[in-house]
Amino acid sequence: MKKWFSLVLCLALLCPALALAQETINVYNWGDYIDVEVLDQFEQETGIKVIYETFETNEDMYAKIAMGGSSYDVIFPSDYMIERMIQEDLVQKINWENIPNVANIDPRFLHEDYDPEAAYSVPYTWGTMGILYNKEMVEEAPNSWDTLMDETYTMDMLMLNSPRDTLAIALVMAGHDLNSVDPADLEDAKNLLIEQKPMVLAYVVDEVKDKMIGGEAAVALVWSGDATFCMSETDELDYVVPQEGSNIFYDSICIPANAKNVSGAEKFIDFMCRADIAAKNYEYVGYAIPNTAAIELLGAEEYNASPVNNPPQEVLDKCEVFRYLGEDTKLYDQIWTEIISEF
């Protein structure tokens, strides 16, 4: 009896200790931005457990990291946010020797303005912003951002609940540069969004997909990858990058400065760059990928045939990357709060 008791006691003490001994990594990514099967496969192959959390916008992710209370090993910021996090020492340099699968990444994606020495970020996806529209609910295929100011679509229009993205498009609509920090330009953008607000059915992020697939709205401001996903679900939808130009974004993988498991983070990043994994993940997520080897696996011809994920040069020429705007970011935040709280 005594023996049994000691055995049970030992096991009870040992189990939590064993559980604690399992290696873990904390991953912080956008909502709907990874195939969970890929996470499972990583755990099975490496024995490293992934503790996975999501955010909706760069601004939400930044606030959490900058506050300092949390510790993640892997994060997925976009271009302008990487630029900011480098400046603020919130991310650390990547040891490329530990990411051999970087060989699969098209080198064109490794020297972007936000990380010119390609020291801090591993390219994950990229895309444009545009209008996703329901062909049966619009009279003519839209080609201008003015569509998003058209009263015909009152309560049939979805906008992104993302300050930088939505303000950028309003700046373009007003004929200004999408990186403008001129208070007069931003005032124009704000006024347009306030005028538009009564026509907007909802400000959404990931919910845009279900709503557009379900035919709940005629037009929506979206990221191209979400358009690809929706268009694979129904033939009723199409996507356009309006003629006035738009934003092109590059989302990457970074290791925060205060990461606790850097070697686990490196293994995860390298895994995500593996051709078979990047290809599988693409099939679920839908966003364009910079991984040449994965594109070959998917079938380059079919992949490149999509004008959504492989836009023609004349479209790309009209797209601009967001820059980190320093102190002026506060002006954006202030305006966004005003827009959202108006009425």
Q: Which residues bind ligand N2P (CB under 6 A)?
A: 30-33, 78, 206, 223, 249, 251
Alpha-carbon distance values, 70 to 19, 40, 205, 208, 319 (Å): 21, 24, 23, 29, 35
CB of 224 to ligand N2P, least distance (A): 9
> Least distance from C-beta 53 to ligand N2P, angstroms?
14
Between 171 and 227, CB nearer to ligand N2P: 227
Output the residue with the shortest Cβ distance to ligand N2P: 30
Nearer to ligand N2P, 57 or 147 (CB): 57
CB 94 → ligand N2P: shortest distance, Å?
A: 20
The encoded tokens of residue 279 equal 């290809």
- Residue 299 CA from chain centroid, whole number: 24
Which residue is listed with tokens 């302008």?
A: 80
Residues with Cβ within 8 Å of 165's Cβ and at least 6 positions away in sequence, in order, are: 129, 221, 223, 247
CB of 13 to ligand N2P, least distance (A): 43
Per the rule left: phi > 0, alpha: psi between -120 and 50, beta: everything else, 47 is left
DSSP 48: P
Rg (CA), the chain: 22
Nearer to ligand N2P, 33 or 42 (CB): 33
Minimum Å gap between C-beta 203 and ligand N2P is: 15
Q: Which residues contact 37 (CB under 8 A, 6 or more apart)?
A: 280, 284
Q: Which is nearer to ligand N2P, 287 or 303 (CB)?
A: 287
Q: Which is nearer to ligand N2P, 78 or 92 (CB)?
A: 78
- Least distance to ligand N2P, CB of residue 31, Å: 5
If the CB atoms of residues 31 and 215 are measured against ligand N2P, the closer one turns out to be 31
